[in-house]
Amino acid sequence: MNTWSILCLIWTLAAYYMARVVYVRYRKSWLNPAITVPVVTLSLMIIFNISYDTYWKDTAWIVQLLAPATVAFAIPIYEYRRLIRQHALALTASITVGMIVGVLSIYIFAVLFHFDKTLTYSLMARSISTPFALDLSEKIHGSPSLVSLFTLITGMVGMILGDMILTFFRIRSHLANGIAFGNASHGFGTARASQRNEDEGVIASLTMILAGLFMIFLGPSLIHGVMLFGQV
C-alpha cells in the first residue's frame, strides 16, 4: 500500500468538498472546483514530487464513476422533452454545425502545425462533456488523459469568454445564449448560463447532453471521414 496514493485520494475528496462549499457561497467563476482543485493539486504534486502514476493508483475509480453519471443525463432529457420538441430544429441545427466546425477546425490546425494522430483525435473529442468525451476518445483512439485536459480547457475558456462574445454581438435571446454556452463550453458553460438566467441554464444543459449524444453516435464517422478525406 502506497501512503502517498492514499493521501492523494483523501486530499482529492476533501479538496473538492471544500472547494464546492466555497464556490456555492461566493459564486465566482474562477472559484469553480473544476479549476481550483486541479490547480492546487498539481501544485502540491510538483512541490512534493508526486508522480502521476502514484496519484492515479487510488483515484482511478473516481473517473469510473463518470459512466453512471452519463446514464443520469437521461433524466433531464425526459423531464424537458416538451422543450426539446419545441426547439428541435434550433437544437439540431446548432449542434450539427458546432460538431462539424469543431472537427474541421481542429483538422486544419493539425495540418498547419503538424500534430500527430493521437493529439489530433484527442482535440477533436474535446468539445463535449467529459463523460462523453472519454467514451468518444476510446472509439477514435485518442488519449483519455489529453481529452480530459482539453475538455477542461475548452470549458474554462468558453465560460470566461462567453459573456464577452455574446455581449459583443448583442444577443439577447435566452434560447440562443443557452445553446451557445452548452454547445461551446459544456459543463462550465451550463454553470455560467444557469447563473445568468434559469431558462438559459436549462437550454444549455439540454444542449450539452444532446451534443454529447450526437458526437458519440455520429462523431467517429465524421472524424474518420475528415481524416480520410485529408489523405486523398
Q: Which domain holds residue 28?
A: 3-64
Examine the fold and report which residue of 46, 64, 82 is the final residue of a domain before the chain moves on: 64
d(CA 132, CA 99) in angstroms, rounded, equals 13
* pLDDT value of residue 56: 87
Query: Do 166 and 79 fall into the same domain?
Result: yes
Residue 126 lies in a domain: yes
Query: Do 87 and 167 fall into the same domain?
Result: yes
Query: Do 189 and 122 fall into the same domain?
Result: yes
Query: Do 82 and 147 fall into the same domain?
Result: yes
* pLDDT value of residue 28: 81
d(CA 191, CA 35) in angstroms, rounded, equals 13
Query: Do 166 and 226 fall into the same domain?
Result: yes
Query: Do 185 and 206 fall into the same domain?
Result: yes
The set of residues, in sequence order, having a beta carbon less than 8 Å from that of 165 and lying 6+ positions away, is 180
Examine the fold and report which residue of 64, 86, 116 is the final residue of a domain before the chain moves on: 64
Examine the fold and report which residue of 64, 88, 115 is the final residue of a domain before the chain moves on: 64
Query: Do 106 and 196 fall into the same domain?
Result: yes
Query: Do 47 and 113 fall into the same domain?
Result: no
Which pLDDT tens digits describe the chain residue by residue (232 residues)? 588 999 999 999 999 999 999 988 988 878 888 889 989 999 999 999 999 889 988 888 887 787 677 777 788 888 888 999 999 999 999 999 999 999 999 999 999 999 999 999 999 998 888 888 988 998 998 888 889 889 988 988 888 888 889 989 988 899 999 999 999 988 888 888 888 888 898 899 899 999 999 999 999 999 999 988 877 5
Structural domains of the chain, count: 2
46: Cα separation from own chain's centroid: 25
* pLDDT value of residue 1: 59
| Grid cell listed for 156 | 474554462
How far, in Å, are 63, 179, 230 from residue 91 at the CA level? 29, 7, 29
Query: Do 186 and 100 fall into the same domain?
Result: yes
d(CA 214, CA 224) in angstroms, rounded, equals 15
Query: Do 128 and 174 fall into the same domain?
Result: yes
* pLDDT value of residue 88: 93
Residue 69 lies in a domain: no
* pLDDT value of residue 69: 72
- pTM of the predicted model as reported, rounded to 2 decimal places: 0.82
Query: Do 113 and 206 fall into the same domain?
Result: yes
